Amino acid sequence: MSFRPEAHRILVVDDDSGMRLAMAETLKRKRYQVDTAEDGASGLAMVAKHSYQALITDLRMPGMTGLELLAEVKKASPATEVLLVTAYGTIPTAVEAMKYGAYDFIQKPFSAKELETIVYNALVKQMPQNAYRGDSDGDDRYQIITRAEKMLHLLELAKRAAASNATILIQAESGTGKELLARFISRHSDRAKKPVIAINCAALPDNLLESELFGYEKGSFTGALTAKPGKFEMADGGTILLDEIGEMPLGLQAKLLRVLQEHEVDRIGGKQPISVDVRVIAMTNRDLKKRIDEGLFREDLYYRLNVIPLEIPSLRERIEDLEALVAHFTTKFGNSAAKLSPAALNILKRYHWPGNVRELENMIQRALILSGKDSLEISDLFQFSEAPEVAAETNTTATPRTASPSSDEAGDLVAGYQMRAGMSVAEVERLLIELTLEETDNNKTHAAKMLGISLRTLRNKLNEYNAAGHPVQVRGKE
């Protein structure tokens, strides 16, 4: 069952008119029905009159506070998901509020994307069928689209793993959707309505990463004017996602190991440990065993994390998902009518996909923006200096038609054509023309249409190649 934003009604309650308007406009752009109220009492009155699937409220408001509004809304409309908007100092209160029925909280300042994501996550929970079904066509960034047997098997394993509290290690290439799988696990666990906190272990300097993970006490270092809870405390009762775990410094690895063993954290400058109940899901695109051999990763931490290992197949291993993913992304980027031409689909099915699903998403978004067409051709997908490195269909020993490097440097062969990263735009252009002419049985009118150029332009290109002494020759044709 697909997700339809227009079918959901949301109430935004905030005494700050600017914040109230900004949140409402953000959600309206996503096609939600949105009402607003300037205080808790007005908001509660509107809940009595209308049916809302979600309510977003500031935590601190004059008169009725966000917590008081939460309590009253849950009495009047238990099915309404309540999201709390909170400043940094009120995070512990917001976390506590989740025990009393709040779905989640969002911390100021936040981006439009963060607001859209948390609202979608709240609403998709109400759908009669789960939005993560392999054949779903929803449009959220945390949705998994698949029909591939490998992926469906992985999702079944993930569901079984979700039922436990065991630590999970997700290993996969970049762009395969490690965080998507991690959030899938969280949503199928008994912690589904508790916080999900993600942190990239490679994105912060060592000292900042430590304070972000474990927190610090007031006065523990210069600039520590107030105490700050770490990510583990913020995720208490829920799940923490540790991305790029292979990049974590050795010193912090020892501290993380203690958290996993003792279920407690030590704030920087703290006098006593703080107990936490957190499900840990670690993610990496590195070979951790190799990192262990290099002395860059603790072996004891590896075995503590690797209780349940999950590996996501690359896109080239689940190429049967390609058409469904393309349909998903064309819908996501506002043109559900857009389709790939047969030649373009043929190329994509044989492309190596070094960037996996993320690369496909970027490619489709770029093509839709720059082409302005409903039929996407090869030239729309591989623009600028990108050269499609594609795998051979059958004959991997055919002689390339253009000058090629040595066999050690050569890329994969497809239908007798050599394509490799690093080629010039002119080289790629010529190869695409040759391949397209072969696909169309040397019909120049059809080839020009598929390439997205005029017949005159195609003829001019062929004349240029002839004049340079390198005429294009299509196999089986004079």
- The three-state DSSP-derived secondary structure of 26-75 is HHHHCCCEEEEECCHHHHHHHHHHCCCCEEEEECCCCCCCHHHHHHHHHH
Fold entry, domain 5-124:
Rossmann fold (3.40.50)
Ranges of CATH 1.10.8.60 domains, the chain = 320-467
- pLDDT over 90 at 157, yes or no: yes
**pLDDT band, residue 424 (cuts 50/70/90):** low
pLDDT score for 434: 82
Please give the single-letter amino acid code of residue 145: I
Structure tokens at 178: 């490690």
Q: How confident is the model at residue 138 (pLDDT cuts 50, 70, 90)?
A: very low
Average pLDDT, the chain: 82
> Who contacts 261 (Cβ-Cβ below 8 Å, separation ≥6)?
304
Report, as an integer, the average pLDDT of 212-241: 89
Higher pLDDT, 371 or 180: 180
Whether residue 39 is predicted with pLDDT greater than 90 in this model: the reply is: yes
Where are any strands of DSSP class E within 146-302? 168-171, 196-200, 215-216, 228-229, 239-243, 264-265, 274-275, 279-284
Q: Calculate what percentage of the chain has a pLDDT beyond 90.
A: 45
Beta bridge partners of 311: 171
Q: What does the pLDDT read at residue 186?
A: 93
What confidence category does residue 469 fall into, taking pLDDT thresholds of 50, 70 and 90?
Answer: confident
Q: Which two tokens stand for residue 414?
A: 């497809």
Report the alpha-carbon distance of residue 160 to residue 156 in Å, rounded: 6
The CATH class given to the 149-311 domain equals alpha beta
- Out of 199-213, 252-266, 403-417, the most confident range is 252-266
User: Looking at residue 287, what DSSP letter applies?
Assistant: -
Check: CB of residue 128 under 8 Å from CB of residue 1: yes
Amino acid at 170: I
SS3 state of residue 9: strand
Whether 133 has a pLDDT exceeding 80, the answer reads: no
In angstroms, what CA-CA distances link 258 with 44, 134, 168, 240, 282? 46, 37, 17, 16, 15
**Which pLDDT score is estimated for 169?**
97
Q: What would the mean pLDDT of 307-325 be, rounded to a whole number?
A: 93
For the record, the structure tokens of 373 come out as 């067409």
Domain with CATH 3.40.50.2300 in the chain: 5-124
Distances (CA, A) of 183 to 121, 141, 142, 152, 239: 10, 11, 7, 16, 9
Residue 147, pLDDT score? 82
Split at pLDDT 50, 70, 90, the class of 396 is very low
Q: 426 versus 103: which is more confidently predicted?
A: 103
Q: Which fold has domain 320-467?
A: Helicase, Ruva Protein; domain 3 (1.10.8)
Domain with CATH 3.40.50.300 in the chain: 149-311
Using 50, 70 and 90 to split pLDDT, how confident is the model at 453? confident
pLDDT at 458 over 80: yes
Q: Is the preceding peptide bond at 5 cis, omega within 30 degrees of 0? A: no
pLDDT, average across residues 154-160:
92
- List the single range of 154-168, 275-289, 341-355 with lowest mean pLDDT: 341-355
